[in-house]
Amino acid sequence: MLETRSLSMHFGGVVAVNRVDFSLRENELRCLIGPNGAGKSTFFKCLTAQLRPTSGEVVIRDFNVSGSESHQVARMGVGIKTQVPNLFDGLDVEENIWLSASQSASLKRSRVITSEVIERLQLGDVRKSQLGSLAHGQRQLVELGMVLAGEPWLVILDEPTAGMTQEEVIRTAEIIREINKSATMIVVEHDMQFIRMIARKVTVFHQGQILLEGDMDEVSADARVREVYLGHRKTS
């Protein structure tokens, strides 16, 4: 359903993503992990057409994403959450979610979706609060709500738990599993504990390439992965 064919992204002389072949089946929940600078975020930006790859292509449901604009990708029914919270700080929670819902749904239907999403994420108390005044974890939650409100069939999340408390992480994991019932997902993450909560299949990035792909147990048992994550054991 989603496929990249020898996808590469160069910044000047730096190769951030190097000939990556990646594929995703319908209803899968895939985690992308890897140390800092492994190319996860660049890969994410190529998937969502925020960056135009140097070579290779990204195909989502027979549609070649590589040459298009990111709003076109989103309009296909792809829900996207970026790494830094990307919200409308001057607007209230309701408006934020409504703006997402009303992109594809009718005005009447989007009001219904908005209140459903707010209820589902238990954001009722802050529905009229400005986004800028909310705590970090709540903001992340609202952004998940915006993804939900678009009723996507493919969801791509970049570090959804960054800066969250333990409790919020658990709640987010629940929400992600629930979204996965109706949508295919890619989650880019750092937090191994969180990945353990949600992941079935994991793709490990290292130096712009796929190092390994497999079950969580398989991956965490792998010596190469440990080395990449924990640094050069041999020298220490």
Applying CB under 8 A, which residues contact other proteins?
48, 50, 69-72, 74-75, 80, 82, 86-91, 95, 98-100, 102-104, 107, 146, 150
* Torsion (CA) 113, 77, 82, 23 in degrees, nearest 10: 140
Shortest Å distance, C-beta 203 to other proteins? 22
- Burial string for 181-198 (b: 16+ CB within 10 Å, else e) reads eebbbbbbbeebebbebb
Taking the least distance from each CB to other proteins, the nearer of 143 and 189 is 143
Taking the least distance from each CB to other proteins, the nearer of 99 and 197 is 99
Taking the least distance from each CB to other proteins, the nearer of 111 and 120 is 111
Shortest Å distance, C-beta 82 to other proteins? 7
Shortest Å distance, C-beta 206 to other proteins? 27
Would you tell me how many other CB atoms lie within 10 Å of the CB of residue 112?
Answer: 12
Shortest Å distance, C-beta 169 to other proteins? 23
- Please give the structure tokens belonging to residue 171: 């709640």
Q: What are phi and psi of 21, to 5 degrees?
A: -105, 120
